[in-house]
Amino acid sequence: MQFTRAEEYGIIGVIYLAEQDRDRVVPLSEIAQAQDVPEKFLAKIFQNLTKSGMVRSHRGVKGGFTFARKPEDVSIREIVEIIQGPYHLIRCLHEVDCCEKYKECPIRLVLEEAEEKLLEVFNKYNVGQMIEWRKSHTHS
């Protein structure tokens, strides 16, 4: 299992947008350039973020995006799950009887605990904390 580029780009794009003045409409091209990510790929990610209500899309010549929520109210898990859907390390953790060995599979026990811990960490951190962390590490 590996963290996807979509998840990475989505998180850094959201953080960048959340750092901007709340009333400022930020062009997608600016976000892509500032974070060094492909604009077309970011556009697909931001479609999902718009549908979820996390960001607002503004059309027109001066179009772009604004962050629709308080940064401290948006967990990293929420961003990841908007982009990728519910986060699961392996299918059998959430699909009972997906294979014949489901009930006695020892790997399932380990992966269940690993998934719990990973989601706990994703829930623990929010966009506001990521903004503060970046500020403290770029102005040192």
HEC per residue, the chain: CCCCHHHHHHHHHHHHHHHCCCCCCECHHHHHHHHCCCHHHHHHHHHHHHHHCCEEEECCCCCEEEECCCHHHCEHHHHHHHHHCCCCCCHHHCCCCCCCCCCCCHHHHHHHHHHHHHHHHHHHCEHHHHHHHHHHHHCC
Give pTM, 2 decimals: 0.88
As a whole number of Å, the CA-based R_g of the chain is: 18
- Predicted confidence band of residue 102 (pLDDT cuts 50, 70, 90): low
Domain that holds residue 116: 5-138
pLDDT tens-place string over residues 73-100: 999 999 999 999 888 877 776 776 677 7
Q: What is the CATH number of the domain that holds 97?
A: 1.10.10.10
Q: In the predicted model, is pLDDT for residue 1 greater than 70?
A: no
Q: Give me the number of domains the chain comprises.
A: 1
- At 140 the pLDDT is 53
Q: Provide the pLDDT for residue 90.
A: 75
> pLDDT tens for residues 16-52?
999 999 999 999 999 999 999 999 999 999 999 999 9
